[in-house]
Amino acid sequence: MKVKDYQFLCSLDSGSTTYEVDLIRYFNIDTTETPENVRKKLLEVIKYEPKPIKETYIISGKTYGVEKELLDCQFEQFIQLDKILAEERNVDNLHKLLAIYLRPSKKKLFWNRIEPFDINKQEQIANELLEMNFDEALGAILFFYQNALNTIMKNIKTSYLNKQSQQMANL
């Protein structure tokens, strides 16, 4: 399942009488098979499980690298992140969130380098990431979330220790 497929799933009204029919049509499930096989195939295509973060992802033949250090980000990235998180229905913006930290990668000699963050390319990158495997996208988002939490906790501890050492010095 791709990110765009997940967005489709979230757009459906689960209380609708055509919910299953809409899913079967969207995922092109063969309805000439037994109902049990149709059910199994449908469950198979909508199943997802987060995958561990990778250094690079190949999406539609293009290589994307991961920016792993939250504090190394540009101010524009934090502004973009804040703007996207403030919008309603964040599930519709998963590809936009990914585009902040996943950018095209170019191989230079023996290492991969990701392109610098450019606010003018965000929409294009986000649209390309709609084709990303949802399992990998979910794993990447979880990595970014955990990375942010770890960074915040580390900064809080550092701040606390600095205050403690100042108080001890003043005694």
Q: What is the structure's pLDDT at 124? A: 93
Terminal alpha carbon distance of the chain? 61
Please, what are the averages of pLDDT over each run of 10 residues along the chain (171 residues)? 87 79 89 90 86 85 80 73 77 84 76 80 92 89 77 69 72 67
Calculate the alpha carbon distances from 38 to 5, 23, 25, 31, 150 in Å: 18, 11, 11, 6, 43
DSSP annotation of 57 reads E
Q: Exposed/middle/buried for 111, CB within 10 Å: 0-12, 13-18, 19+?
A: exposed
The β-bridge partners of 107 are 112
